Structure 1
Amino acid sequence: MALDLLEAQHGRGPCPDSYGSGEPVPPVSIRVAHADARWPDFTERALGQDIVTTFAVPLRRRENLLGALNVFVPTLPDPTPADAAASGLHVAQALADAAALGLQNRSAYAQYRALSGQLEQALSSRVRIEQAKGMLAERWSVRADRAFMALRQYARRHRLPLDQVASAVIEGVEDDAELRRESGGSSDGPA
């Protein structure tokens, strides 16, 4: 039911109006809106769903507009429509504010998780590169910077990520002779 009504809005309805303006759309009688040809597709479907009144409030966090919350009322309001409408708007806005906070927190959490994963991957990569550099420097009796240059040159020449070449060195599956040629092949003393 609600999904059908939301789909019927197609850019014209209380939700798009609230989202577009960033302001609440106060309670509107579906019959009056239908008679005025306001939101024709939406009001036609709402009448078919026995919706009497609708309103919408923006979902925003500070100045960041995230969407809009549509409220469908299947009954006539209490005898004090002004008070009921104001109360309904306040409750809906409080709910929308809570939802917006949840959406913002979810987004921030996802960003921090992604950044944390990237940093963890970069640290692991750096550790592997340092380990491979040390292994080659020890094996070839060269300085660590020369071993690193060999790793880097090999990676560039073969268009491989440096971390992948370092992993191959650690796992012992690299082409040691070709890597050594990248270092200049000569010993320049202890590391």
Structure 2
Amino acid sequence: MTLREQEVAAVFAELTGGAARDPLDTQALLATLAEGGRRLFHARGAKVAYVPGGHSPVLTDGTDPSLGSLAADAARWEEGAGYDARTTGCALVDVDVAARSARLRWPRWSPRATALGFGRATALPLQGRSGQVGALVLFTAPDKPLDEEALALVRLFAEVAGHTLTLQRELSETQVLAGQLEHALSSRVVVEQAKGILAARHGLSLDEAFAGLRGYARSHRRKLADVAREVTEGQLPELLAQ
């Protein structure tokens, strides 16, 4: 494996591994994506915009604070190479950001990118399972266009990034759902325990114990699970006492 191939493999592994290590940290994955793109293609800078599930808000990051700020402003302005790539699904390759056509097309984004010292930009859409979910923008010097080999690689990188972000979101949603189900199951178990305690304490049926438990929670404007937990911990001996 050549040094270049090793570098490519390392960047791809870092990108895909980040989603598996911490599926809840989307911002860290975006930072890895931007920096990986910059490093892999020897760009002067990179920024990324991502819309989880195709809906607002737009999450952004960049390889330095100025590009992170530009990415956030571009999303708010709804203009720029990345915005066009994200909303149309079409790549913009080696765009001269200082050209008159660019200034007319993006009256706020183009001067800002030029003022930051960037001459050319390549924007690639990030594809999710059901459409575009974001865009990666690479900035190069005016005299440093991407060659065909680099362009093919950056397209592949953007494709992997889009799928990785989608996978990360799905893993995150799965974790959240699993946590919610675990909490619901735990609450249900505590309620059943409290019903049994109250039924045994007061000689009631389980339905009668539950009715009393629920009535107490409602009258005191408290969550049923919290009241049940206090019953199991012996903190409400007066509940249902005659």
**Which whole-Å CA distance do the structure 1 matches of 2:201 and 2:73 have between them?**
71
The answer to whether 1:3 aligns with 2:68 is yes
Q: Which deviates more from structure 2 when the two are superposed, residues 137-146 or residues 31-40?
A: 31-40
- Aligned AA for 1:73? T
Number of aligned residue pairs: 175
Shift in CA distance, 166/64, structure 1 to aligned 2, threshold 3 Å: same
Aligned partner of 1:16 in structure 2 is 83
* Percent of aligned positions that are identical: 34
Which of the residues 194, 197, 201 maps onto 1:135? 197
2:90 is the counterpart of 1:29: no
Relative contact order higher in (CA < 8 Å, ≥ 6 apart): 2
The equivalent position to 2:233 in structure 1, one of 151, 171, 189, is 171
Distance 1:153 1:47 in 2: 67
Structure 1 contact 23–57 (Cα < 8 Å) conserved: yes
- Paired residues of 1:14 and 1:25 also in contact (CA < 8 A): yes
Shift of 1:41: 3.8
Paired amino acid for 1:23 = C
Matched position secondary structure for 1:28: strand
Tell me the TM-score normalised to structure 1 length: 0.76
Worse-superposed segment, 123-132 or 138-147: 138-147
Which is greater in Rg?
1
The answer to whether 1:157 aligns with 2:222 is no
Q: If the length of structure 2 is used for normalisation, what is the TM-score? A: 0.62
Cα deviation for residue 35 of structure 1 reads 7.9
Displacement over 4 Å in runs of 4+: 33-36
Q: Give structure 2 stretches of 5+ with no counterpart.
A: 1-65
- What's the RMSD between the two structures over aligned residues? 2.6
